C-alpha cells in the first residue's frame, strides 16, 4: 500500500480486523483492495469514512455483523445472509464492499430474488457510490482513472453483447442478431425445397450474398464478444460459444474447399461431409437463447434437473426392456409359425413399447393376441404413470428458474444465464 505502512486495521462498526499490507492488495473485497492504490489521505477518505494515520486504522461506518458474514465468505468462500437481518439491507452491504448477488449461495439467491420481487426494489453498484467517487470517475482525477474508464468501457461493451436487456443499444443489437438468425434459417430451409433447387441457377448470386452477409455478422459478433470477454479460456469453453463456432466454421470450410478444388456448389453439396457441415447451421437457432428469457429458462431447467431427467430415462428404459421381452414372448415366442412377425425380436418389440408408453401410437405395429392386447393396455397406463412422476419436479424447477431469470433481468444485474452458458 502506498499510503500507510505495516499492519492495516479495518474498523467496521466498532469491530477491528488487522491485515498485513500485502494482503490488502489482492483482497477479495473491491472496496478494501482500493486502499492499496491510495497515495494521499484525501484518496483514502474517498474509500473509507475516517482514517487514523498514527495507528494506520481505517474506519467504515457500516453494519458490523453483516461485515462479519462477508469476512466468512473471504475466508471460506461461502456467503450467506446474516440471521435476523433484512435480505435487502444485507445485499446493500454486499454492494458497498464490492460483491454481487451471484456470490451468494443458491438458497440465499432465491430468498433475495423473492424479496426483491415482493418489494420491487433493485440495487446497483452506482447506488452505493459517494459523490466524491462519482466525481473522481467523471473527471478522471484519480491516477488510475483512465484505466478505470477503459475497464468500464469494456464492461459496458461486454454487457451490450451478453445482456440484451442491459441498454437500448443492447436491445437493438439483439434485435439485429435475431433478424440475421431468422433470415439464415429461412434460407437454409428453403434451400432444401425442390423448387428452390430448380431456380437456384437463376438466384445463386443473391443466395450467396445473403449467406455471406449473415455469416459475416455472426463472425464479427463472435470476435467482438471474444475480445471484450473477461476470461478468454472460459469464453472458449462455454457451450453456446462452441455452438457458434461450429455453426460458422462449415461456411469457411466450404469456401476453402471451393478455392482449393475449384468445384462448384452443386458438387460440394453432393459430399456427405459438406452436407452435414452445412446442416450444422441449424444450431444458430440456439443463439436465440441469448435474447429470449424462455429459452434461457428451458436450458437452466434442464441443467438443474439433470438428475430427474436421468431418473425418467431409467424408468423408461427399464419398462421398455420388460414390456418388450413380454410382448415378444406373447406375440411371437409362444407360436413361432403363426406368431406376429412385427414382434420377431425384442428390439423390434421395444419400438412398439416406447411409442405406446409415450401415447404416440403410430399404428405401424400392434398386438393381435388377447394376452398381447392386455399387456399393451398395461404398458400404456404404466407409461403415463412413469412419465408423470418426475414431471412435477421439473415443472416446479422451471417456474423457479423463470422467476429468478425474470427478476435478474429486471434489475439488470448479473444474469443467471451465465450459469447456463457455463
The CATH number given to whatever domain includes residue 36 is 3.30.710.10
In a domain? residue 193 = yes
pLDDT band at 147 (very low <50, low <70, confident <90, very high): low
| 3-state per-residue secondary structure call for 148-186 | HHHHHHHHHHHHHHHCCCCCHHHHHHHHHHHHHHHHHHH
Least-confidence region, from 80-89, 196-205, 353-362: 196-205
For 314, residues 6+ apart whose C-beta sits below 8 A from its C-beta are none
User: What does the pLDDT look like over 65-75, one tens digit per residue?
Assistant: 999 889 888 88
Residues 268 and 383 in one domain: no
Residues 362 and 273 in one domain: no
Name the DSSP class of 191: T
In a domain? residue 420 = no
Task: Output the pLDDT for position 326.
Answer: 92
Least-confidence region, from 199-203, 233-237, 361-365: 199-203
3-state class (DSSP) for residue 129: coil
In a domain? residue 145 = no
Contact 244, 218 (CB under 8 A): yes
Residues 351 and 320 in one domain: yes
Task: Output the pLDDT for position 128.
Answer: 44
Domain count for the chain: 3
Kindly report the CATH number assigned to the domain that includes residue 262. Answer: 1.20.120.350
Contact 181, 189 (CB under 8 A): no
Dump the DSSP string for 302-340: HHHTHHHHHHHHHHHHHHHHHHHHHHHIIIIIS-TTTS-
Picking from 260, 291, 322, the residue at the C-terminal end of a domain is 291
Average pLDDT over residues 3-29: 81
Q: Which residue, among 300, 298, 357, has the nearest Cα to 327 in the 3D structure?
A: 357
In a domain? residue 340 = yes
pLDDT(251) > 60: yes
Name the DSSP class of 27: -
Contact 130, 60 (CB under 8 A): no
- Give me the domain span that covers residue 37: 7-114
Percent of the chain topping pLDDT 70 = 78
pLDDT(256) > 60: yes
Amino acid at each position: 500500500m502506498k499510503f500507510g505502512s505495516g499492519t492495516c486495521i479495518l474498523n467496521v462498526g466498532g469491530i477491528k480486523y488487522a491485515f498485513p499490507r500485502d494482503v490488502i492488495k489482492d483482497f477479495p473485497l473491491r472496496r478494501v483492495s482500493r486502499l492499496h492504490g491510495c497515495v494521499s489521505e484525501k484518496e483514502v477518505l474517498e474509500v473509507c469514512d475516517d482514517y487514523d494515520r498514527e495507528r494506520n486504522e481505517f474506519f467504515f461506518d457500516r453494519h458490523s455483523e453483516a461485515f462479519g458474514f462477508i469476512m466468512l465468505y473471504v475466508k471460506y468462500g461461502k456467503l450467506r445472509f446474516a440471521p435476523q437481518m433484512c435480505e435487502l439491507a444485507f445485499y446493500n452491504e454486499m454492494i458497498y464492499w464490492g460483491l454481487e448477488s451471484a456470490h451468494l449461495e443458491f438458497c440465499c439467491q432465491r430468498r433475495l430474488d423473492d424479496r426483491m420481487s415482493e418489494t420491487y426494489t433493485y440495487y446497483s453498484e452506482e447506488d452505493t457510490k459517494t459523490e466524491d467517487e462519482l466525481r473522481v470517475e467523471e473527471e478522471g482525477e484519480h491516477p488510475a482513472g483512465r484505466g478505470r474508464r477503459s475497464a468500464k468501457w469494456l464492461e459496458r461493451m461486454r454487457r451490450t453483447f451478453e445482456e440484451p436487456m442491459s441498454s437500448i443499444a443492447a436491445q437493438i443489437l439483439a434485435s439485429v442478431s435475431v433478424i440475421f438468425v431468422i433470415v439464415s434459417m429461412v434460407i437454409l430451409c428453403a434451400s432444401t425445397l425442390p423448387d428452390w433447387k430448380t431456380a437456384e441457377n437463376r438466384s445463386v448470386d443473391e443466395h450467396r450474398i445473403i449467406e455471406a452477409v449473415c455469416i459475416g455478422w455472426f463472425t464479427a459478433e463472435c470476435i467482438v464478444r471474444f475480445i471484450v470477454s473477461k476470461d478468454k479460456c472460459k469464453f472458449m469453453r462455454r457451450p453456446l460459444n462452441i455452438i457458434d463456432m461450429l455453426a460458422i466454421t462449415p461456411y469457411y470450410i466450404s469456401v476453402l474447399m471451393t478455392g482449393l478444388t475449384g468445384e462448384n456448389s452443386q458438387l460440394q453439396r453432393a459430399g456427405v461431409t459438406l452436407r452435414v457441415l452445412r446442416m450444422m447451421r441449424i444450431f444458430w437457432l440456439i443463439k436465440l437463447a441469448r435474447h429470449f428469457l424462455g429459452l434461457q429458462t428451458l436450458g437452466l431447467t434442464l441443467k438443474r434437473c439433470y438428475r430427474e431427467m436421468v431418473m425418467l430415462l431409467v424408468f423408461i428404459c427399464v419398462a421398455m426392456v420388460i414390456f418388450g421381452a413380454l410382448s415378444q414372448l406373447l406375440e411371437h415366442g409362444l407360436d413361432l409359425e403363426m406368431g406376429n412377425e412385427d414382434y420377431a425380436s425384442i428390439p423390434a418389440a421395444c419400438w412398439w413399447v416406447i411409442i405406446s408408453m409415450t401415447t404416440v401410437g403410430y399404428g405401424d405395429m400392434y398386438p393381435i393376441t388377447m394376452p398381447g392386447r392386455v399387456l399393451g393396455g398395461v404398458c400404456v397406463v404404466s407409461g403415463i404413470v412413469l412419465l408423470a412422476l418426475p414431471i412435477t419436479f421439473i415443472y416446479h424447477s422451471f417456474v423457479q428458474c423463470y422467476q429468478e431469470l425474470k427478476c435478474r433481468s429486471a434489475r439488470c444485474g448479473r444474469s443467471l444465464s451465465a450459469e447456463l452458458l457455463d
